[in-house]
């Protein structure tokens, strides 16, 4: 199966799974509506795709990893809803559409994000065909990635701390963006009971991919097409944030993206079944949104 076909197959399975969530007639139905507005608003689904691919490469039927993959996507979408709030980045657009709080108000947006967090862990707890030990390990992976020493810590550095130098900027991005991308890969490894050596290679791949992804985001925030990027161009500069472009310039950033992509590719270069992962790294290098 070629790269595009496999990616679309993963995306379709993810969309179908997510579309079955938060349905039904409830007296608090507006909460479901707000959740589904953000959860089903598109996006590349890179993180759950990574989970499914590492599960497949690890030797299991990747469909079994869908609860793990979609649990992480729920957490990712909670973070986007909260990230857009006036008390955070105060963004009006996400994926080319009004942000959640612009449509449903701040209170319901906060509550939609709040609900997505425990619901993610419920998906893992109820994953069929997975042992209790496996589900517990998956819970720990996701909790570490999104908690006080993971994504939330990165958000604190981004919104509360005045990050001005490269070491702190790298730490911010490792936590805010990289932790969840690495967790996506690790969840696939957990689902497949991947051997330790391969698992370490998978984590190196994902870590390097996460850095390349964030630096490319910083580039696009300067030179991207707003209609394609799906959110305002120059928002980081307007908020007074120091990005990799400020620290290294556009050409320096492009070199960094290429270097991290090369390291990601090298991490899985010895794997027999590596073509999808190599192509994914290259596609993210060239992305415009």
pLDDT digits (tens, 9 = 90+) for 196-239: 999 999 999 999 999 999 999 889 988 867 666 555 666 666 77
* Cβ–Cβ under 8 Å, residues 182 and 201: no
C-alpha closest to that of 252 among 222, 282, 284, 283: 222
Sorted by where each begins, the domain ranges of the chain are 3-285
**CA gap 100, 176 in Å, rounded:** 20
Model pLDDT for residues 22-69, shown as the tens digit of each residue = 999 999 999 999 999 999 998 899 999 999 999 999 999 999 999 999
User: Which residue is listed with tokens 């991005």?
Assistant: 173
Give the pLDDT of residue 232: 64
Q: Please state, for a pLDDT cut of 70, what percent of the chain lies above it.
A: 95
Give the pLDDT of residue 21: 98
What is this structure's pTM? 0.94
Residue 284 has pLDDT above 90, yes or no: no
Average pLDDT over residues 89-95: 92
**CA gap 95, 72 in Å, rounded:** 19
CATH class for the domain made up of 3-285 = mainly alpha
Tell me the H-state helices in 42-131.
Answer: 46-57, 66-83, 100-104, 106-125
């Amino acid at each position: 199966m070629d790269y595009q076909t496999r990616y679309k197959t993963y995306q379709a399975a993810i969309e179908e799974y997510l579309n079955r969530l938060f349905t039904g007639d409830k007296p608090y139905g507006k909460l479901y509506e707000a959740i589904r507005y953000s959860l089903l608003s598109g996006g590349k689904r890179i993180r759950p795709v990574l989970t499914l691919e590492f599960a497949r490469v690890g030797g299991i039927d990747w469909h079994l990893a869908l609860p793990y993959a979609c649990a992480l996507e729920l957490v990712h979408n909670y973070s986007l809803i909260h990230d857009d709030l006036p008390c955070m980045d105060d963004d009006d657009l996400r994926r080319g559409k009004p942000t959640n709080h612009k449509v449903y108000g701040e209170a319901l947006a906060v509550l939609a994000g709040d609900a997505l967090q425990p619901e993610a862990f419920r998906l893992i707890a109820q994953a069929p065909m997975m042992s209790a030990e496996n589900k517990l390990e998956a819970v720990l992976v996701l909790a570490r990635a999104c908690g006080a020493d993971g994504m939330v810590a990165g958000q604190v550095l981004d919104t509360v701390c005045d990050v001005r130098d490269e070491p702190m900027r790298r730490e911010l991005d490792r936590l805010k963006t990289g932790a969840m991308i690495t967790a996506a890969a690790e969840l696939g490894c957990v689902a497949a009971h991947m051997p330790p050596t391969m698992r370490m290679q998978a984590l190196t791949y994902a870590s390097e991919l996460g850095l390349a992804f964030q630096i490319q985001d910083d580039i696009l925030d300067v030179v991207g097409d707003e209609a394609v990027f799906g959110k305002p161009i120059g928002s980081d500069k307007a908020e007074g944030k120091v990005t990799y472009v400020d620290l290294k310039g556009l050409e320096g950033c492009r070199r960094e993206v290429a270097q991290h992509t090369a390291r990601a590719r090298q991490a899985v270069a010895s794997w027999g079944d590596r073509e999808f992962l190599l192509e994914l790294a290259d596609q993210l290098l060239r992305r415009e949104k």
